[in-house]
Amino acid sequence: MKIVMCASEIVPFAKTGGLADVAGALPLALEKAGHEVIVVMPGYKTVHAKTALSIKNVRPGLSIAEIGKAIKVYLIDHDFYFNRDALYGDKTGDYIDNIDRFSYFCRRTLDLLKEINFKADIVHCHDWQSAMVAVYLNSTAYSTDQFYKSMRTVFTIHNIGYQGLFSKDEFPKLGLAWNFFGVDSLEYYAQINFLKGGIVFSDVINTVSDTYSKEICTKEFGFGMEGILDKRKDALFGIINGLDYSIWDPAVDNLIASKFSAKNISGKSECKEDLQKICKFPLKPNIPLIGVVSRLAQQKGFDIVAAGIDKMCRMDLQMVILGTGDEKYHAIMESMVKKYPKVISLHLKFDDTLAHKIYAGSDIFLMPSKYEPCGLGQMISMKYATLPLVYKTGGLADTVDASNGFVFDKYSADDLLKTVKKSLTAYHAVDKWKKLVDKAMKCDFSWFESAKKYVQLYENARKRS
Ligand code: ADP
């Protein structure tokens, strides 16, 4: 099959979250399976700043790089839209012209396919930023063009909480007929909703775990999309994300203090000591170290973490938190560092190297997300012999159980604290702990299986007219 992967962030070019991991790894798995894949994303300033990626400018507005064996990555350049410090916004919030930036990206993607004569079978779009590809394909500009006739669209929802909502007043900018602004189209309570456009106009839709694909059809998790999803339930699927083990494997990881594997785990203690040094913690080998790599957001469970953190800091443990997010949680965690400097270490930034060191050096990985479409942290941590502690939701429910981690099923600070205590007790029961770690390390979340499911999904899309 000829496949276009279209996303707003893709590893190794740009990343703010799990979407980038997926959009970077899936093309590689598809190429290995014999498909012809190209990738399209915006050419952000931060991408061009990465000299190691050998990006070539082809002409104004277009650059090219390569991943895998021969996957071309097309970077849509636009000095005004993408030559900025961040991907989506700054301290004051989202960039106010995101509607222009990402509708432009989607139109350019489609035009590019014709320019390079890539007659795709499947255009695979991710999240609201590339959702408009499916909408435009259905608009007269493209639907009447023979070149696009047989292209089918797959839309993956990585997080339904982010929808790309804009004022109705901006609708004329999209260059679409007004019949695209209706309840069965882009309109959502008198606003423009890009994600909804993706749901309505794509041939098939999926989310990144089976449980989340069911959860988003409910009022509790649907963020208002449950009604429209119900109309498309015959086209809605769940496929768990895979992990790229060429990046996330302690046996080959050059960013950690000492490599290790399930066969020989001895290097892990060196990683723990390295992490304790970074955190300026006492260098004790036998104190449980809890790691967090996350956005500091309510979605990630920070409301209950914030409510329980003081009590947690009085337990016999060490805790390191890496991430940025809501100022409110920054402030709470900073106050804890002042109060318990030997117990908690805070790193308010995005730092890939430190993330690797935390996965490798911790004993327990805390990820009590309130909702979690898939979640990568829990899968990564398992590979690094770090047991996940999660709330039973979405992809966390599909990947963690009592045999490879710790799960609680009532979303409250009390239940979180109880489960933390349980994990600390387990840590000191050495033989039992070893068994859990062994089981966790042997879990296989590689892309192989998930990529096969995506190919089936593409085949399903091709059958639709
Ligand atoms: P999200 O909802 O943020 O996409 P996921 O669990 O799907 O959550 O993916 C998060 C990805 O981003 C993981 O690879 C995680 O290691 C990484 N990550 C999150 N925060 C940071 C950070 N502050 N520094 C480095 N990596 C981070």
For residue 321, the CA-to-ligand 1 centroid distance in Å is 12
Question: Average of pLDDT values for 444-452?
Answer: 93
Assess whether pLDDT exceeds 90 at residue 404.
yes
| Cα distances (Å, whole numbers) of residue 27 to 42, 110, 113, 221, 313 | 17, 18, 17, 29, 42
Q: Is 351 in the pocket of ligand 1 (CB under 6 A)?
A: yes
* Residue 115 host element (H or E): helix 98-115
Q: How confident is the model at residue 460 (pLDDT cuts 50, 70, 90)?
A: very high
pLDDT of 266-282, one tens digit each? 999 999 999 999 999 99
What pLDDT sits at residue 279?
Answer: 98
> Residue 445: which pLDDT band, with cuts at 50, 70 and 90?
very high
Q: Is the pLDDT of residue 19 over 80?
A: yes
For ligand 1, mutation pick of 243, 294, 378 (most atoms within 8 Å of CB): 294
C-alpha count within 13 angstroms, C-beta hemisphere, residue 377: 26
What's this model's pTM, rounded to 2 decimal places? 0.92
Region 159-165 average pLDDT: 97
Distance CA 434, CA 438 (A): 6
* CB neighbourhood size of 136 (10 A): 23
Residue 91: pLDDT band with limits 50, 70, 90? confident
Summarised one tens digit per residue, pLDDT across range 119-159 is: 999 999 999 999 999 999 999 999 999 999 999 999 999 99
Residue 347 is predicted with a pLDDT of 98
For residue 241, give the ligand 1 atom closest to its CA. Answer: 7
pLDDT at 51: 83
What pLDDT does residue 297 have? 96
On the question of pLDDT at 169 being above 90, the answer is: yes
Tell whether ligand 1 has an atom less than 6 A from the beta carbon of residue 173.
no
pLDDT value of residue 196? 98
By alpha-carbon position, which residue is closest to atom 12 of ligand 1?
17
pLDDT of residue 465: 75
Pocket test for ligand 1, best of 245, 278, 365, 376 (most atoms within 8 A of CB): 376
pLDDT in tens, 214-231: 999 999 999 999 999 999
Nearest ligand 1 atom to alpha carbon 372 = 2
Does residue 36 have its Cβ closer than 6 Å to ligand 1? no
Ligand 1 contact via 242 beta carbon (within 6 Å): no
The residue to mutate among 295, 320, 398, having the most atoms of ligand 1 within 8 angstroms of its beta carbon, is 295
Q: 257 alpha carbon to ligand 1 midpoint, in Å?
A: 21
Long-range own/partner contacts, residues 62-70 (CB < 8 A, 24 or more apart): 62/112, 65/13, 67/12, 67/24, 67/27, 67/28, 67/39, 68/27, 68/28, 68/31, 68/32, 68/37, 69/31, 70/31
Average pLDDT taken over every residue of the chain: 97
396 within ligand 1 shell (Cβ under 6 A): no
Q: Which atom of ligand 1 is found nearest the CA of 19?
A: 4
For residue 388 and ligand 1, the question of a CB distance below 6 A is answered with no
- Model pLDDT for residues 301-338, shown as the tens digit of each residue: 999 999 999 999 999 999 999 999 999 999 999 999 99
CA 21 to ligand 1 center in whole angstroms: 9
